[in-house]
């Protein structure tokens, strides 16, 4: 019996061993499968976003968008894309087009029922009913339960700041077709799928843009002006930090191409900007040694020029030296200086300042200057103080920047410059040097005197030393002038000892009010606007207040005779 029992026990033990081995094998298989699945899930969740190749992405995992973003100089998004559903229909799957058309109109009241019905009865396989639905509209359409109604995703161009940067950005229409602004100018970049992750970086600072727009709106309303505009320029690089034109428009909504709100008063509008041009005339006179600071002219009587009689709005009725001519904005003194400069030198200088051609701003809607048909003794006189020649406000701002930044004319740009570009600009070149550094320093002092003692007093800002020049020009119309309608403006530089920013603002046909003694000139309307703007800009930009006595102006004050 013993051998038999041992055999039985051995058989049982062998069977158990086989079962145990099978269990171990199955556990190993399940364990291997579990770890394989876990690794796969981790790979999908963590690594797929950077390892998966998409067609045309050059090995980079990129969800290609219809248009690249546009951002400001600090990376704040100005234009981007948002996926939105669009409603289409397969007419062959619609049983009762008439009834369905009424249901759709209840949800989408902006559509015309006749058009909707026509689409529902179309002979085509697919027809669009409405693009870019809201989530609520999509929900309500879905509730209709119509199998013939279909949705498809599309990208809608979104402008988060609404109308704030409208004249710079422009807008896009159906299927993201650009119509104006940098959207149109840089369409090749923005619409290129391979560059969809390369945002277009503008020079605009949205913080300054907000301040400029807010102050313009306040003063347009205060003086019942037809509109207004302004620009903030980096005095040393030409970068446009803010640009606003009123009235403006919301690029998120469709606006007719010929709507007046689309007109860009800073880049597109050309105006006779008045006394701002005296900055160029005085600078040219000093730079060519035609006059020095002690020179002067008799401004005691009006001057007859052709059929015009030229007089001073702030008449002193006496002999004025060069600083006084500029500080008191004397038309008589300026025209006499221009006569000594001469036509050829004046024309050559204006050409060198870029006043005879369009600006380089990167949009297509830029205005071409309107120049005199001939340039004789009369035109020499009138253009010296900003009449008879019409330019955009950006022309004036760029030219004044060159008068105060050491004499270099840097083309204005809407694109942010990188460090190497800024270094190249600061090194300077003979080609962009329009006046000497010494003349530029003198012009800074003269512009400061305008704010301290002259027509720009309303732009004074406690704690900051600034310079500026007023401008008041009668609007041209039908070959003549409308005496009661003016463009009032003020262009400022700050800090005036080491210029960083050019600030320009203009009001179109402002109306005088009781507080301004019913005066509507640049000194009364545009100068305080710019002063308020600088008061807000200074702290934001980290510009420390400066004590007035730290800057040497005493000698200029003595020369000007305004002490």
Mean pLDDT for the stretch of residues 210-214: 98
The encoded tokens of residue 353 equal: 């300042």
- 562, pLDDT greater than 60: no
The encoded tokens of residue 371 equal: 């120049």
The encoded tokens of residue 16 equal: 């158990």
Please indicate, yes or no, whether residues 123 and 151 belong to a single structural domain of this protein. Answer: yes
Domain-embedded: residue 220: yes
Percent of the chain predicted with pLDDT > 90: 64
pLDDT of residue 381: 95
pLDDT of residue 425: 75
Which DSSP string corresponds to 344-383? HHHHHHHHHTTTTS----SSS--PPPB--SS-SHHHHHHH
Last residue of a domain, one of 179, 201, 223: 201
pLDDT band per the 50, 70, 90 thresholds, residue 505:
very high
Please indicate, yes or no, whether residues 113 and 163 belong to a single structural domain of this protein. Answer: yes
The encoded tokens of residue 109 equal: 């009241």
Domain-embedded: residue 502: yes
Nearest to 127 by CA among 104, 156, 148: 148
Q: Which residues are catalytic?
A: 275
Please indicate, yes or no, whether residues 176 and 223 belong to a single structural domain of this protein. Answer: no
Domain-embedded: residue 62: no
Least confidently predicted of 131-135, 155-159, 342-346, 411-415: 131-135
**Is the bond leading into 485 cis (omega within 30 degrees of zero)?**
no
The encoded tokens of residue 553 equal: 């102006």
pLDDT band per the 50, 70, 90 thresholds, residue 40:
low
Nearest to 279 by CA among 392, 374, 407: 407
Nearest to 555 by CA among 450, 445, 422, 451: 445
Please indicate, yes or no, whether residues 159 and 246 belong to a single structural domain of this protein. Answer: no
Whether 49 and 57 have beta carbons less than 8 Å apart is answered as no
pLDDT band per the 50, 70, 90 thresholds, residue 13:
low
pLDDT band per the 50, 70, 90 thresholds, residue 156:
confident
Question: What is the SS3 assignment for 477?
Answer: strand
Q: What is the CATH number of the domain that holds 148?
A: 3.90.1310.10
pLDDT of residue 24: 78
On the CB side of 69, CA atoms within 13 Å amount to: 14
On the CB side of 296, CA atoms within 13 Å amount to: 15
Mean pLDDT for the stretch of residues 127-143: 88
Which DSSP string corresponds to 274-299? GGGGHHHHHHHHHHTTS--TT-EEE-
- 144, pLDDT greater than 60: yes
Last residue of a domain, one of 149, 177, 201: 201
What's the full length of the chain, in residues? Answer: 563
- Which tops the pLDDT comparison, 20 or 209? 209
DSSP state of 488: E
Question: What is the SS3 assignment for 135?
Answer: helix
Mean pLDDT for the stretch of residues 494-500: 92
pTM of this structure = 0.80
pLDDT of residue 351: 96
Q: Which of 137-161 are b and which e, b meaning 16 or more Cβ less than 10 Å from the residue's Cβ?
A: ebebbeeeebeebeeeebbbbebeb
pLDDT of residue 31: 75
Please indicate, yes or no, whether residues 19 and 95 belong to a single structural domain of this protein. Answer: no
What span, in angstroms and rounded, lies between the C-alpha atoms of 263 and 94?
A: 46
pLDDT band per the 50, 70, 90 thresholds, residue 560:
very low
The encoded tokens of residue 166 equal: 């409208």
The encoded tokens of residue 26 equal: 């199955």
Domain-embedded: residue 58: no
pLDDT band per the 50, 70, 90 thresholds, residue 15:
low
Mean pLDDT for the stretch of residues 59-67: 49
pLDDT of residue 177: 87
Last residue of a domain, one of 201, 226, 251: 201
pLDDT band per the 50, 70, 90 thresholds, residue 47:
very low
pLDDT of residue 421: 82
Please indicate, yes or no, whether residues 153 and 260 belong to a single structural domain of this protein. Answer: no
What span, in angstroms and rounded, lies between the C-alpha atoms of 426 and 205?
A: 21
Residue with tokens 């003016």: 486
CA dist 351 to 178, 330, 356, 405, Å? 33, 24, 5, 19
The encoded tokens of residue 176 equal: 């993201």
Please indicate, yes or no, whether residues 359 and 313 belong to a single structural domain of this protein. Answer: yes
pLDDT of residue 563: 39
- Please write the tens of the pLDDT for every residue from 278-325: 999 999 999 999 999 999 999 999 999 888 899 998 888 899 999 999
pLDDT of residue 173: 83
pLDDT of residue 523: 93
- 554, pLDDT greater than 60: no
Q: What is the CATH number of the domain that holds 477?
A: 3.40.710.10
- Please write the tens of the pLDDT for every residue from 265-281: 999 999 999 999 999 99
- 550, pLDDT greater than 60: no
pLDDT of residue 174: 73
- 243, pLDDT greater than 90: yes
Residues contacting 185, CB < 8 A, separation 6+: 362, 363, 364
Q: Which of 465-499 are b and which e, b meaning 16 or more Cβ less than 10 Å from the residue's Cβ?
A: bbbbbbbbbbebeeeeeeeebbbbbbbbbbbbbeb
Please indicate, yes or no, whether residues 119 and 144 belong to a single structural domain of this protein. Answer: yes
Residue 173's domain comprises 70-201
pLDDT of residue 286: 97
- 229, pLDDT greater than 60: yes
Helix-then-strand count for the chain, H and E = 19, 14
What span, in angstroms and rounded, lies between the C-alpha atoms of 273 and 282?
A: 16
Domain-embedded: residue 57: no
What span, in angstroms and rounded, lies between the C-alpha atoms of 553 and 558?
A: 9
- 481 forms bridges with which residues in the sheet? 476
pLDDT of residue 48: 41
- Please write the tens of the pLDDT for every residue from 395-442: 999 999 999 999 999 999 999 998 888 877 766 666 789 999 999 999
Strands 227-234, 240-246: parallel, antiparallel or unpaired by DSSP? antiparallel
Residues contacting 163, CB < 8 A, separation 6+: 248, 249, 250, 251
Percent of the chain predicted with pLDDT > 70: 86
Torsion of CA 284, 426, 238, 79, to 10 degrees: 180
Nearest to 539 by CA among 216, 236, 207: 207
Question: What Rg value do the Cα atoms of the chain yield, rounded?
Answer: 35
The encoded tokens of residue 5 equal: 């029992």
Whether 457 and 468 have beta carbons less than 8 Å apart is answered as no
CA dist 217 to 2, 170, 221, 231, Å? 113, 20, 6, 14
pLDDT band per the 50, 70, 90 thresholds, residue 130:
confident
Give CA angle at 365 (395, 234), nearest 5°. Answer: 40
Angle between helices 135-143 and 97-107 (to 10 degrees): 150
pLDDT of residue 72: 97
Nearest to 451 by CA among 526, 394, 392, 515: 526
What span, in angstroms and rounded, lies between the C-alpha atoms of 218 and 291?
A: 42
The encoded tokens of residue 510 equal: 């402002």
Please indicate, yes or no, whether residues 304 and 285 belong to a single structural domain of this protein. Answer: yes
What is the overall mean pLDDT for the chain?
87
Please indicate, yes or no, whether residues 483 and 545 belong to a single structural domain of this protein. Answer: yes
Please indicate, yes or no, whether residues 229 and 376 belong to a single structural domain of this protein. Answer: yes
What span, in angstroms and rounded, lies between the C-alpha atoms of 472 and 341?
A: 24
CA dist 174 to 157, 254, 342, Å? 10, 9, 55
- Please write the tens of the pLDDT for every residue from 443-472: 999 999 999 989 999 999 998 999 999 998
- Please write the tens of the pLDDT for every residue from 340-398: 999 999 999 999 999 999 999 999 999 999 999 999 999 999 999 999 999 999 999 99
Nearest to 530 by CA among 233, 272, 224, 269: 233
Residues contacting 552, CB < 8 A, separation 6+: none
pLDDT of residue 273: 94
Domain-embedded: residue 56: no
Domain-embedded: residue 279: yes
Domain-embedded: residue 421: yes
pLDDT band per the 50, 70, 90 thresholds, residue 1:
very low
- Which tops the pLDDT comparison, 157 or 314? 157
- The total of structural domains in the chain comes to 3
Please indicate, yes or no, whether residues 386 and 526 belong to a single structural domain of this protein. Answer: yes
């Amino acid at each position: 019996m013993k051998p038999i029992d041992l055999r039985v026990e051995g058989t049982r033990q062998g069977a158990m061993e086989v079962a145990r081995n099978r269990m171990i094998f199955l556990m190993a298989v399940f364990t291997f499968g579990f770890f394989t699945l876990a690794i796969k899930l981790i790979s999908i969740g963590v690594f797929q976003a950077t390892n998966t190749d998409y067609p045309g992405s050059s090995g980079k995992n990129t969800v290609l968008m219809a248009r690249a973003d546009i951002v400001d100089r600090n990376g704040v998004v100005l234009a981007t894309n948002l996926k939105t559903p669009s409603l289409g229909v397969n007419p062959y799957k619609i049983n009762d087009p008439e009834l369905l058309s009424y249901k759709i109109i209840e949800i989408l009241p902006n559509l015309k029922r006749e058009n909707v019905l026509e689409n529902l009865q179309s002979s085509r396989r697919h027809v669009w009913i409405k693009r870019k639905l809201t989530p609520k509209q999509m929900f309500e359409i879905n509730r209709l339960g119509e199998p013939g109604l279909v949705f498809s995703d599309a990208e809608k161009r979104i402008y988060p700041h609404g109308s704030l940067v409208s004249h710079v950005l422009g807008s896009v229409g159906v299927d993201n077709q650009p119509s104006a602004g940098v959207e149109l100018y840089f369409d090749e970049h923005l619409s290129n799928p391979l560059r969809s992750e390369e945002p277009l970086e503008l020079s605009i600072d949205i913080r300054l843009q907000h301040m400029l727009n807010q102050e313009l709106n306040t003063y347009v309303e205060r003086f019942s002006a037809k509109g207004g505009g302004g620009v903030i320029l980096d005095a040393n690089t030409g970068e446009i930090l803010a640009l606003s034109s009123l009235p403006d428009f919301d690029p998120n909504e469709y606006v007719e191409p010929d709507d007046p709100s689309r007109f860009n008063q800073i880049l597109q509008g050309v105006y006779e900007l008045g006394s701002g041009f005296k900055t160029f005339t005085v600078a040219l006179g000093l730079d060519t040694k035609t006059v020095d600071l002690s020179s002067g002219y008799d401004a005691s009587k009006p001057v007859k020029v052709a059929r015009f009689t030229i007089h001073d709005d702030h008449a002193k009725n006496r002999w004025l030296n060069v600083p006084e001519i500029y500080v008191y904005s004397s038309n008589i003194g300026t025209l006499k200086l221009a006569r000594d400069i001469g036509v050829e030198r004046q024309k050559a200088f204006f050409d060198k300042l870029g006043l005879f051609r369009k600006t380089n701003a990167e949009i297509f809607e830029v205005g071409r200057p309107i120049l005199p048909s001939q340039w004789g003794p009369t035109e020499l006189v009138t253009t010296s103080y900003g009449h008879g020649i019409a330019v955009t406000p950006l022309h004036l701002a760029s030219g004044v920047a060159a008068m105060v930044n050491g004499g270099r004319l840097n083309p204005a740009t809407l694109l942010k410059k990188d460090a190497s570009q800024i270094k190249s600009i600061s090194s300077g070149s003979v080609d962009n040097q329009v006046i000497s550094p010494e003349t530029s320093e003198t012009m800074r002092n003269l512009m400061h005197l305008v704010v301290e003692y002259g027509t720009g007093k309303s732009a004074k800002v406690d704690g900051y030393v600034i310079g500026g020049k007023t401008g008041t020009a009668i609007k041209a119309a039908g070959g003549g002038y409308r005496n009661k309608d003016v463009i009032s403006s003020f262009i400022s530089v700050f800090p005036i000892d080491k210029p960083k920013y050019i600030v320009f603002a203009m009001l179109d046909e402002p109306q005088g009010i009781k507080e301004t003694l019913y005066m509507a000139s640049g000194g009364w309307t545009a100068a305080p606007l710019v002063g308020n703007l600088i008061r807000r800009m200074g702290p934001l930009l980290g510009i420390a207040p400066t004590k007035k006595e730290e800057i040497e102006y005493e000698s200029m004050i003595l020369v000007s005779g305004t002490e």
